[in-house]
Amino acid sequence: MTRIVLVRLAWMLPILFGVSVVAFALMRALPGDFAQAAAGTTDLSPEALDTIRRGLGLDKPIWAQYLLWLGGLASGDFGSSFVTHKPVLGELLPRLAVTAELTLMAGAMAMVLGVFTGLASARLRGRTDWFVRGFNGLLLAVPNFVVATLIVLLAGLYFPELGIFNYTPFFTDPLGNLGSMLLPAFALALAVSVTISENTRAAVLEVSSQDFVMVARAKGLRPGAILRNYLVRNALTPVITVTGLQLASLLGGSILIETIFTIPGMGQYLFDSITSRDYPVIQAIVLVAAVIVLLVNVLVDVAYARVDARVSYG
């Protein structure tokens, strides 16, 4: 077990290195001068620009700049915002917590919805199957920001008293906070539930055709018991994997959803930073998100190996 974890983490290192190079290169690929972007104005004397440049270490060779930046990252220094001039990390962490809450809620909703519809589709067959597949197919074509916009529109037209833009911080009102996250999480969950639903359906169908299910049926076990003890348990492994792998699209989607519902998470922070050209923040968010996705992928792999004895990593 430890070995699997170590091997997977070791595989991560070269990718992490690549990710950091890409994130670094993005900042240096900015149109115009980085120092000018940092100053937020083009109206500067050459001397003032030189001072800024030296302050940011831009007079050093590019590899030294990269190493400096990497060293900073290692000690938690993600640079300072061009706008507020405060360290990015301190502003990012509270927002990351909000996004994590939204993503987890959406993930849980998607899982419940997906497993339920997938199971119904595979077990009841016939019209239910047809309906679920059709619904899934249609849902797949509706991007989450369209769902969210339509929810806001409907709420505004028919339930104006609902106040869906009232984000409440968790620590002032935990229940109110969960309530204000429900609709955004739902908008985010719908598309992901389709993938889970389709995979649950396929997994249950596949497990149903296995010999041990036939044996169980031949032994005279009741269908309910077979469903609980054999089908769900065996079909759930791939479903958990799929849910884990959907994290990337949940994180991506949360940018849009937070912007639409004005939730002060990482996504809205990114949106604001794009608008104000706050490049260090953009860089930090992209980096953090990539690392989270990488870590979760490792976690999913490990969990998968733990549950399924057939998987091994040499």
Applying CB under 8 A, the residues found at the interface with other proteins are 14-15, 18-19, 22-23, 26-27, 29-31, 137-138, 140-143, 145-146, 149-150, 152-153, 156-157, 191, 195, 198-199, 201-203, 205-206, 248-249, 251-253, 255-256, 259-260, 270-271, 274-275, 277, 279, 282-283, 285-286, 289-290, 293-294
C-alpha–C-alpha distance, residues 269 and 258, integer Å: 9
Is the Cβ of residue 92 or residue 256 nearer to other proteins in the bound state? 256
Tell me how far, at minimum, the Cβ of 270 lies from other proteins, in Å. Answer: 7
Q: Which of 190, 188, 193 is nearest to 263 (CA)?
A: 188
Q: What residue type is assigned to position 154 of the chain?
A: L
Give CA torsion, residues 137, 139, 144, 148, to 10 deg: 170
CB of 47 to other proteins, least distance (A): 27
Looking at the Cβ atoms of 216 and 292, the one nearer to other proteins is 292
Minimal distance, residue 305 CB to other proteins, in Å: 19
Amino acid, single-letter form, for residue 34: F
Q: In this complex, which beta carbon is closest to other proteins, that of residue 72 or of residue 252?
A: 252
Closest contact distance (angstroms) between CB of 231 and other proteins is 14
**Residue placing its CB nearer to other proteins in the complex, 36 or 249:** 249
Q: Which is nearer to other proteins, 34 or 170 (CB)?
A: 34
CB 255 to other proteins: min, Å: 7
Which DSSP category does 44 fall into?
-
> 60: how many CB neighbours lie within 10 A of its CB?
14
CB of 31 to other proteins, least distance (A): 5
Torsion of CA 103, 261, 281, 191, to 10 degrees: 40
Cβ 151 to other proteins, closest distance in Å? 11
CA dihedral 16, 76, 254, 264 (to 10 degrees): -170
Q: Which is nearer to other proteins, 202 or 232 (CB)?
A: 202
Dig out the tokens for 74 from the structure: 């290692």
Residue 177 vs 259, nearer CB to other proteins: 259
8 Å CB contact between 122 and 208: yes
Distances (CA, A) of 309 to 22, 209, 312: 36, 20, 7
Helix (H, G, I), strand (E, B) or coil at 86: coil
Q: In this structure, what token pair is assigned to residue 7?
A: 């091997």
Nearer to other proteins, 51 or 149 (CB): 149
Least distance to other proteins from the beta carbon of 277, Å? Answer: 8
Long-range contacts of 179-185 (CB under 8 A, 24+ apart): 180/263, 181/101, 181/102, 181/105, 181/263, 182/105, 183/151, 183/155, 183/261, 184/102, 184/106, 184/148, 184/257, 184/258, 184/260, 184/261, 184/263, 185/102, 185/105, 185/106, 185/109
